[in-house]
Chains A and B, each alone.
Chain A
Amino acid sequence: MKMAIQIEKLKYSYSAHSPLVLNMPSWQVVQGERLFLQGPSGCGKSSLLNVISGILPVSQGQINVLGSSLDTLSGRQRDHFRAQHIGYVFQRFNLIPYLSALDNVRLACAFNGQRPERHAMEAQASSILLSLGIDQDHWHKTSDQLSVGQQQRVAIARAMIHQPQLLIVDEPTSSLDHQSRDAFVQLLLRQVESTNLTLLFVSHDHTLSPYFSRSQTMNEINDA
């Protein structure tokens, strides 16, 4: 079994004198798993996601994501790693406000560094937007002209355009009502269905857990 995320004896605090935010003896996520991670806010969720995506550097313990030891990579290498292998969807404000939906998706491609053929990239962007139910009429609108649900779907497109191996979705449904919340999760799961992508879905709302193959709470994995 290949591991998507492997954490050993990880300790993290924002500064030398502040209390530990993360203290994780051991935690694994198997590749291809759809994991639901539940926890209230302030339990170190965001810090964990920052560490996994390589935005925050690790000083104590080991963390291996998709075969790369993030604790040994430089900041630049971690940025590059994130651009190539990780997709990320926030709870709100996912899009650069002054770029159109399509340009937001294109921008993610640009950060990826591998320059695919322009046509191929455009075709890919179109197909992914269409498959997420974003009509062509909306492609050139900026986020303030799109509904919250549409913004979240464009965010998925942006996170998946470069075909990441790990998709982190952080409280994406907190600004959606019940009905659209379920529709969003179903759409997301359908999107990753046929792939070997590892999905890490984080939410405080435990009613969503039945959609996922495995469910854990932050308290189970974090001793801090």
Chain B
Amino acid sequence: MPKCNPIFFKLALNSLKSRKGSVLLTLLAIIVSVYVLIGVEQIRQQTKQNFNSTIAGTDLIVGARTGDINLLLYAVFHMGAATQNISWKTYQELSSLSSVNWAVPISLGDSHQGYRVTATTPDYFKYYRYAELQPLQFEAGQAFKDVYDVVLGAEVARKLDYQLGDELVLAHGLGSTSFSLHKDKPFRVSGLLKATGTPVDRSLYISLPGMEAIHIGWNNGVNSNPTAISDAQSLTPKSVTAVMLGLKQKTATFRLQRVINEYREEALLAMLPGVTLAKLWQITSVMEHSLRLIALLILLSSLLGLVAMLLASIRERQREIAVMRVMGASPWFIFSLIEIEVMLVTFVGYVLGILSLAGSFELAKNLALEQFGLHLSANLFSLEQLIYLGFIMAAAFIAGLIPAIMAYKQALGVCLD
């Protein structure tokens, strides 16, 4: 059969053109479903990638003994609260271990208008890494130097509209409407961090001595004796919430983890952030699957629309099929013609869907990072997309079998009356 003759392509194209209205509607449905399917899939992947790259370059996180997910939640995501702290002495011992390259302590517990405050050392800005080992960068200013210096995450600065040099008051405890404020000791903004798309954006950073200073005279959450700081010596904390560790050699990670977990002086837990992040992500897998399912159902419904459109047209095309038959068209040719029409509409729909998705990603890129902390770097022209294209085309082919077989049967028993 002369299947490659360009007139056959023209035949399919003109046939579609002659049913412009219904074809356009079907095309629109396919564009939307491709847009949603690929869009959801992209956002899902980006979210997962974003999530998994929340913290990088830290080999172990150590806290008081608890569940590893719990430790990850409060130490990295600043969600929930630690039940217990670890002593300053333990931190010092950890940092002096021969296999440890760096150790950064963090101390949690205070907040500012709902945003958590992390007390740490300036090393935090040096060693914290996210995504592909990207370091934190300052939009303006620098790390805290003075006891009452504070560094703001990008979202905190933007939402609360703080500039360098502004003064702010921290609240004791974690609620956004805490009544016990550290009014007597306001902090001054010394640095603003660039947006990262991680929980860092929603945090305020102060020094450990700063944290100690505002709690002098506080007992059980009540400011009983507001006195001035007597001497710098007393600002060394007695405990911290967690310690982030960077090792000299990655291969030592599991050995050190075991050593810390079996530490005699204090009940400790060391966990690998990467592993625990993956574990935490598993919780969202139900959500992930249902999103996928919804996208697939949308695709299915638009393909059914395409099939319905073609089925309706087969009846009108009875005479046309007869004409082609007397010209020598085989029933297989009629079959192929219908399938080519299905594939053509689907392919054009796919291309337009991808293009509009790429367009919207480009437009929404900045908004997504600012509002949702989501890096949208749409990878729409990759090998994976080819797999999706293959899947969509295969689904279209299968859906097209219904009208194509109808046309085939009609062509077989065609009546020239």
Contacts and interface: CB of A to CB of B under 8 A. Distances in A.
Pairing of A with B: yes
Contacts of A112: 328
Interface of A: 46, 49-50, 53, 55, 75-76, 79-80, 82-84, 86, 88, 90, 93-99, 103, 106-108, 110-113, 115, 158, 170
- Please classify how large the interface on chain B is, using the bins under 10, 10 to 19, 20 to 34, 35 or more: 20 to 34
A112 B2 CA distance: 8
Given A103-B10, A113-B1, A115-B2, A108 B327 contact: yes
Contacts of A98: 14-15, 17-18
Contact of A83 (B8, B319, B323, B327): B327
A49 B322 CA distance: 13
B298 to A, nearest CB: 31
Contacts of B416: 46, 49-50, 53, 55, 88, 90, 170
Interface string B289-331: 0000000000000000000000000000001101111111111
Nearest to A171: B417
Nearest to A99: B14
Contact of B330 (A53, A79, A95): A79
B31 to A, nearest CB: 23
A93 B319 contact: yes
A85 to B, nearest CB: 9
A140 to B, nearest CB: 12
A109 B17 CA distance: 23
Interface of A is mostly: helix
A80 B417 CA distance: 22
Contacts of A93: 319, 323
Interface of B: 1-2, 5, 7-8, 10-11, 14-15, 17-18, 319-320, 322-332, 412, 414-417
Contacts of B330: 75-76, 79
Give the top 10 A-B pairs by smallest Cβ distance, nearest first.
A83-B328, A98-B18, A88-B326, A111-B328, A79-B330, A98-B14, A110-B5, A93-B319, A111-B327, A110-B7
Interface of B is mostly: helix
A164 B185 CA distance: 103
B328 A107 contact: no
A99 B15 CA distance: 8
Contacts of A108: 327-328
Given A49-B416, A55-B325, A111-B328, A96 B2 contact: no
Given A55-B326, A88-B327, 9 more contacts: A50-B415, A55-B325, A82-B327, A83-B327, A88-B416, A90-B416, A93-B323, A95-B323, A98-B18
Given A49-B416, A80-B328, A110-B8, A97 B320 contact: yes
B174 to A, nearest CB: 70
A158 B18 contact: no
A83 B329 CA distance: 8
A98 to B, nearest CB: 4
Contact of A79 (B319, B323, B328): B328
A9 to B, nearest CB: 24
24 contacts: A50-B415, A50-B416, A55-B325, A55-B414, A55-B416, A76-B332, A82-B327, A88-B326, A90-B323, A90-B326, A90-B416, A93-B323, A95-B323, A96-B11, A96-B323, A98-B14, A103-B10, A107-B11, A107-B324, A108-B327, A110-B5, A111-B324, A113-B1, A115-B5
